[in-house]
A = this chain, B = another copy of it.
């Protein structure tokens, strides 16, 4: 429908086809790490529509803040100004403040200034009355005056700044285009950040005394009005997530407009601290307070005199109480927020029981207070010289779940709201509803294409594996005629002792069934789970990694060919390892006979196969230390099992959905399972949902007349609407070239995200044992011996702390560190991150960073 709709829209414009040229994508990653102070209130001022009086509110706040005590600084920013210089909100604030202060507060002396940093050439010409070239001009223009009678040293300060200005009084995205003076989102954000930053401009000590400060950033137009690049302003400024003041609408229709604007801000994760609007006698505050359930203060300003040429001094005077109150609310909320941050860090250690965490090893300083996420980045609270908000790249992808860039995150937010409101959760069995069906359709057309025909939903990887095991074992019993038709198999009788075939080092989840399918490890010890027995036959797999710039296969001691060609084990390119040509090679024969032998050994005394399923993590074993398994070995393993009617389960919980550069890792292996499990990235990383896909042949082993033959496993929120909705959006987003610019032209592959040269150099560092780089993953094992290696090792701890300081939030797997991006993360961002890692690993190699030895820590 869309091309037609554009056409129709344009039809009314005399047939001119209007194509939206503007970039409505979210600002890309900033080159610097976003960082701004929490030492004083910084607010964003938004409005439900244009002309509702944002600037009056800013001016009122400046008057109130600077009047209430000496030694204060009020900073006003107008990042985007159009209609300049006739319209200049920073000048308005500067002027009105000066006028009011001279009139009513002559006893306080305030140095007031107004600055214009940059403007389009045509706006600059208008201001300076001379030729200014083209594009955006750095003006550095300013005016100032000293208000009041007191001495200079005692003076408070008002600083007003316009960051960017354009000539015409139109929407910024139109004038930026028209005046040939575009500004990218990143530029604007970096400019604003430097203004908010820790510099002398905004955080000052004057003559040894602390200066109380307040800062406001006034947006342009309504909350969702486009900025200069076309990005909606509510999206544009989102990385800062400044607390918000919303200027509402007191007119007829204003209740609706104010509520809608409020919801638009909430949908971007903003906290609205107060709503304020001009009284038009319609009592709009009552429905607003009711809607807000009294949780957000609503303030009403006196009517602004119709005759705007009036100098407004009377109005500001009348409004003093309201502005004082608003200002107090803002200061209080800001203080409370900071106090809460400190409290939270303490309290977390007292009441959380973190998974996989030895609490004794977590000091208060090690606790990270995460204020928010924007795309791939956390905003965390840091106390360095002072409290601040600092951006960190989520390099652990929050336990490998993350995929969204900032644009997808916003779309998911809207979709989550919609799905909650449309469905909440509704009963799944025997029912159908849109998101569940669409999700199943996309799964079967995507990762399940060519083999799967049924989708079984559950909540996480571990439950998906439990379901897969039940499916596989039943299918095995069915195929091998162990299943008695119409049996009412009640209770605990065991007919045969079924095992799974699995690889050592694999991990499938923490519920008992999933644990039983993995080899003994620190996770499975008696003190962790006394019921664990290890119901598997576990093989040591051959592994692959980039060692000293050569891709190398490392064979386990059980597979040591007498006469294998040594060239089989080294590769110059990673692609060669996946090459199907390797199926015909001496190594393939070695693998094949080894596997046959292992299977033969697992016949029970009656000659009956006791291996009821194969379960593997295809290509990469994640929790086992980001080990890459020789794909040839896994391919042969799959085939050997399938030829013996042993069902094959692929655990793609970690590897699925582009994690390894392909929609599924099965594609990399070039073979198909009978059953596969997906979770994590499936929902784009916002909400737990898992699915077990199965072939129709597997499904048929449960089909019959009795309910008791059905698969009696299920969780309350099976196929919950929110999860399915998020999955539908994310799966589509990742594989659509329009939303994911990392896809190669055929849409089946992610382009290389990690700079090849950097990866090579890292692999050559003495401190680095091996590198595995594939898709969104780049993992590095640190050279370590004995107890410094392995899961419980803290060897990487110091390195990790340094990297967090660099703005990279990593979590190690013992002595293995890794960085993981989303399928849409720009390669530039990846390189940026990888360079920092390289530098730190070089320091480690040169012993500038000490690894944390294990001597005192068990």
**Residues in chain B near residue A483, CB distance under 8 A:** 527
In this complex, what residue of B is CB-closest to A359?
B703
CB distance from A447 to the nearest CB of B (A): 14
A1 → B minimal CB distance (Å):
5
User: CB distance A378 to B426 under 8 Å?
Assistant: yes
Tell whether, in the assembled complex, residue B5 and residue A290 are in contact, meaning their CB atoms are under 8 Å apart. Answer: no
| Bound: A297/B352 CA distance, A | 48
Which of the 9-residue segments A123-131, A410-418, A576-584 touches chain B?
Answer: A410-418
Q: Tell yes or no: A760 within 8 A of B by CB.
A: no
A198 within 8 A of B: no
Q: Would you call A226 and B287 a contact (CB within 8 A)?
A: yes
B170 adjacent to A1 (CB under 8 Å): no
8 A Cβ contacts from A286-332 to B: 286-287, 289-291, 293-302, 321-322, 325, 329
Q: Is A565 an interface residue (CB 8 A)?
A: no
Decide if A706 is an interface residue (CB 8 Å cutoff).
yes
A266, CB-defined interface residue at 8 Å? yes
Chain A contributes a number of interface residues (CB within 8 A of B) equal to: 226
A242: interface (CB < 8 Å): no
A714–B686 Cα gap in the complex (Å)?
17
Q: Which of A494-514 touch B at CB < 8 Å?
A: 494-496, 498, 509-514
The contact of A373 among B225, B423, B487, B713, by CB within 8 Å, is: B423
Contact with B along A237-261 (1 / 0, CB 8 A): 0100100000000001101110111
A418 pairs with B269, CB closer than 8 A: yes
Q: Mark A347-369, 1 if CB is under 8 A from B, else 0.
A: 11011111111111110001111
Residues of B within 8 A of A848 (CB): none
Residue A441 interfacial (CB < 8 Å): yes
* A383 contacts B by Cβ under 8 Å: no
Within 8 A of B (CB), among A15-73: 18, 20, 22, 24, 48-51
Within 8 A of B (CB), among A462-504: 462-463, 466, 469-470, 473-474, 477, 483, 486-496, 498
B422→A269 contact, CB < 8 A: yes
Q: CA of A261 to CA of B528 in the docked complex: distance in angstroms?
A: 53
| Distance between Cα atoms of A473 and B530 in the complex (Å) | 7
**A666 → B minimal CB distance (Å):** 19
Contacts A5-B297, A352-B440, A527-B487 given; does A357 touch B12 at CB 8 Å? no
Interface residues of A in 379-431 (CB under 8 A from B): 394, 396, 398-402, 404, 409-410, 412-414, 416-431
Bound complex: CA of A523 vs CA of B492, how far in Å? 10
Complex formed: what's the CA distance from A402 to B146 in Å?
63
Asked whether A597 is an interface residue with its Cβ less than 8 Å from the other chain, the reply is no
Contact B425 A398 (CB under 8 A): yes
Q: What is the bound-complex CA distance between A354 and B467, given in angstroms?
A: 12
A788 at interface, CB cutoff 8 A: no
Interchain nearest-CB distance for A719 vs B (Å):
8
A455 contacts the other chain (Cβ, under 8 Å)?
yes
**Contact in complex: A498, B359 (CB < 8 Å):** no
Q: Is the CB of A699 within 8 A of B512?
A: no
